[in-house]
Copies of this chain bind each other. A is one copy, B any other.
Amino acid sequence: MFLAEVRASAEPEDESTRRILDAALEAYQEFGLRRTTMDDVARAAGIGRATLYRRFPQKGDLVTAVGLREVRRFIAAVDVEISKAPNAEERMVEGFVAVVRGLRENQLLNRLLSSEPEAVLPGLTLHGGPVIALARGYLKEKIEEDQRAGLIADFDAEPLAETLARLIHSIVLTPDGRIPTRDERQMRAFARTYLVAWLRI
């Protein structure tokens, strides 16, 4: 799943696809991926099995579509928080807080990590290259916007974007530690001291 793919995707136009995705998300959050059948989703969405299979031939296609929509919504929410910040330093701080909070509060991610770790951990770790690439691509765009505006120095944004992505990657996989992820005031203080330092490379 790459950033261009996420950006190119859009909220589904037709009402029945929207209902399918909503029903699937709700079922995945409540029962997990493994225990949710295509029939469960069709029933909850109030549509016929034929319609569901025409739109999503396999369970994996539906899971991917739900995941893609979650990522797109997540990015849109982070964009809003970053756009409110007045300068490059605060964009770093608010972006970090929005990403960590958004992932910590994401119901689908938390449900799957706690009840089906064997299903999601390999894709988030050993085969997690695309996840890192997605986050890196997004963060690189944000850093380069401030570079083009002359607000921060013109270093290569990609390694910094990846380092930030990896810090967040580790925090999501292993929240237990000394980076305060539950207290936003403390999270901002951490970001202001330790992450903003990077913008002065």
Contact = CB atoms under 8 A, between A and B. Distances in A.
Interface of A: 113-114, 117-118, 121-122, 124-126, 128-129, 131-133, 136, 155-156, 158-160, 162-163, 165-167, 169-171, 173-174, 176-179, 190, 193-194, 197-198, 200-201
B121 A174 contact: no
Copies of the chain in the assembly: 2
Rank and list the top 4 A-B pairs by shortest CB-CB distance, nearest first.
Answer: A129-B176, A166-B170, A128-B174, A125-B173
Given A113-B126, A117-B126, A197-B200, A177 B173 contact: no
Nearest to A179: B162
Given A118-B118, A178-B136, A159 B126 contact: no
A112 to B, nearest CB: 11
A71 to B, nearest CB: 17
Contacts of A201: 193-194, 197
Given A121-B117, A170-B167, A177 B162 contact: yes
B163 A167 contact: yes
A141 B59 CA distance: 50
